[in-house]
């Protein structure tokens, strides 16, 4: 259980760092646990270069969850000096959705991590 909590914290750290690197003036984070999932929502506002942010997020969060990679590399999440950490986030979540507005310079990311039991049932 403690590892799961740390993984959520690392994912949150990686996303926060990513948005701050693009000079987000406001970053709102919401963590929610449902019976089946952990949901991480991040809203970043007043970001520089929204086009590039969107491209990076789409590229790195499009990976499929890989439990075996997650077990070996999760501790590195949030520690990278480049955007490779986002790729680690991508393999640590089951679903990722993205909403954004270039005109209003905001990006909203929602990540879903299914509980162990839910993944094994599928």
- Provide the whole-model pTM: 0.82
CA 44, CA 12: separation in Å to the nearest integer? 13
**Complete domains list, the chain, with CATH:** 2-121 (3.30.565)
pLDDT at 75: 56
pLDDT at 79: 55
CA 108, CA 12: separation in Å to the nearest integer? 13
* CB distance 93 to 66 below 8 Å: no
* CB distance 78 to 13 below 8 Å: yes
pLDDT, tens digit, 9 for 90 and up, residues 72-117:
565 555 455 555 678 788 888 999 999 999 999 999 999 999 976 4
pLDDT at 99: 97
């Amino acid at each position: 259980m403690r590892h799961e909590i740390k993984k959520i914290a690392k994912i949150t750290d990686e996303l926060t760092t990513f948005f701050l690197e693009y000079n987000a003036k406001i970053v709102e984070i919401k963590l929610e646990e449902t019976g089946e999932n952990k949901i991480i929502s991040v809203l970043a506002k007043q970001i520089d270069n929204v086009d590039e942010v969107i491209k990076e997020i789409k590229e790195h969060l499009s990976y499929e969850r890989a439990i075996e990679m997650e077990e070996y590399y999760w501790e590195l999440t949030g520690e990278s000096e480049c955007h490779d950490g986002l790729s680690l986030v991508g393999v640590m979540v089951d679903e990722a959705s993205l909403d954004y507005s270039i005109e209003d310079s905001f990006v909203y990311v929602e990540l879903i991590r299914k509980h162990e039991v839910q993944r094994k049932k599928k």
